[in-house]
Amino acid sequence: MPSRPMRIDILTLFPQMFDSVLGCSMLKRALDKGVFTVNVADIRDFSAGDYRKVDDKPYGGGPGMVMMPGPVYECFEHVRDLCPDKGRVILLTPQGRRFSQKDAVDLAGESRLILIAGRYEGFDERIRTGLGAEQLSVGDYVLSGGELAAMVVMEAVVRLLGGALGDESSTSEETFNQGLLEYPQYTRPEVFRGMKVPEVLLSGDHSAIRRWRRKRALERTSRWRPDLLEE
């Protein structure tokens, strides 16, 4: 267990979206155990006027609305100053670098993360350039906002923290951690609808099992994700 829990701050227009993901499964257990703490801040609370306006039409014309810099800056500066550790600032955007397991391992070494989730047609460019944030994307597709991406990053990072999982060794052989897809897994019964568990897994020969798993991981990666082998 780390001496000090990781702190994660999330800036969003829809804080209620995080209630369910933080209220169940691994993230809830990790919160209850003090592995990390989380603060979800509503960007609308920092907008001017009674209408809590956070977006406007883009200069130069075009479809959709763009998130205004003012509320995001005000929210960010308020959240940043809640803790003396300034942390690592992440902007969730499809224009960012594709998030990988390597990134998750890297971020798990930080003491604080500030995740900023966008909406609408994107951020005013001065949010990107002025906050000094890294940009991450969870894939080459478009979502309605960055909230789901923030959840993906948070879960991928937290599960790597000491004390988050019941079996601390369970992450070491998972998909991507060895640069490969994970080997096939089986459990009871030994025979299901005519499909049998490979004999080597029942043999008790741990050296043979390790060799079998390594070979199957390489075969799967070569067939389904050859790009990983190239990397």
- pTM, two decimals, is 0.89
Residue 176 confidence (pLDDT): 65
Low-confidence ranges of the chain (pLDDT < 70): 1-3, 167-177
Residue 121 confidence (pLDDT): 82
CA distance 3 to 86: 18
Residue 130 confidence (pLDDT): 96
Residue 2 confidence (pLDDT): 45
Residue 3 confidence (pLDDT): 63
Domains of the chain and CATH, by start: 6-158 (3.40.1280.10), 173-231 (1.10.1270.20)
Residue 179 confidence (pLDDT): 85
3-class secondary structure, 132: coil
Residue-wise burial string across 147-165, b where 16 or more C-beta atoms lie within 10 A, e elsewhere: bebbbbbbbbbbbbbeebb
CA distance 205 to 219: 21
